[in-house]
Amino acid sequence: MSEEFKVEIVNPEKSFLVKDDVSEVVVPAFEGEMGILKDHISIISFLKPGIIKILSKSGDENYYVEDGIVEFKNNNLSILTSTIFNLADMDKSKQQDLLKQAEEEANKTDINDQSKYLADQKVEVLKTLN
């Protein structure tokens, strides 16, 4: 019995990634990191800024996301997100750009608590990357 399932990452422009030999996916869910294995119960949750780790036979991959929704059903994991970057393709300058943007956002005074929290999260995650 194989322990693999299918993951699909979609962004508004296209289907970003489809993989069907995944053994585990760790997503930064809103209430904490969540590891998903095969035969997980059907779940819907949403993401906070963080790193998606995809562990598969063909190698591990890491993606940086800023927001999104995850849906897991019948061993199909769908991740809908508007901002996603493959960490392998992300160079230092890109990281710095994103960090600067996030810091600016976090320093705004006229935003509500939730967006403040999300912006702080972004800063934190991006800092750990450097």
Partner 1 sequence: MASLDDLKKRIASVKSTQKITKAMKMVAAAKLRRAQESAEKGRPYSEKMNNVILNLSNGISDKENAPKLLSGTGQEKTHLCVVMTSDRGLCGGFNSNIIKKAKSYFAKILDEGKELKIITVGSKGNDQLKRVYGDKIIENISFKESKNANYFDADKVGKMVIEKFEAEEFDVCTIFYNQFKNVITQIPQAQQIIPLNNEGEESSSEESYEFEPDEDEILSNLLPKNISTQIFKAMLENSASEQGSRMSAMDNATRNAGEMVDKLTIEYNRSRQAAITKELIEIISGAESL
User: For partner 1, which residue of 30, 55, 101, 116 counts as binding (CB under 8 A)?
Assistant: 30
Q: Is 7 in the site for partner 1 (CB under 8 A)?
A: no
User: For partner 1, which residue of 4, 24, 67, 103 counts as binding (CB under 8 A)?
Assistant: 67
Quick check: 79 and 52 in contact, CB under 8 A?
Answer: yes
* Residue of 50, 43, 36 lying closest to 7 (CA atoms): 36
Alpha-carbon distance 29 to 48, whole Å? Answer: 6
User: For partner 1, which residue of 21, 33, 39, 42 counts as binding (CB under 8 A)?
Assistant: 42
The neighbouring-strand residues paired with 64 are 51, 85
User: For partner 1, which residue of 4, 24, 71, 105 counts as binding (CB under 8 A)?
Assistant: 71
Quick check: 83 and 9 in contact, CB under 8 A?
Answer: no
Q: Is 43 in the site for partner 1 (CB under 8 A)?
A: yes
Give me 102's structure tokens.
């996030």
The residues of the shown chain that bind partner 1, judged by CB under 8 A, are 10-15, 29-31, 34, 41-46, 67, 69, 71, 73, 78, 80, 82
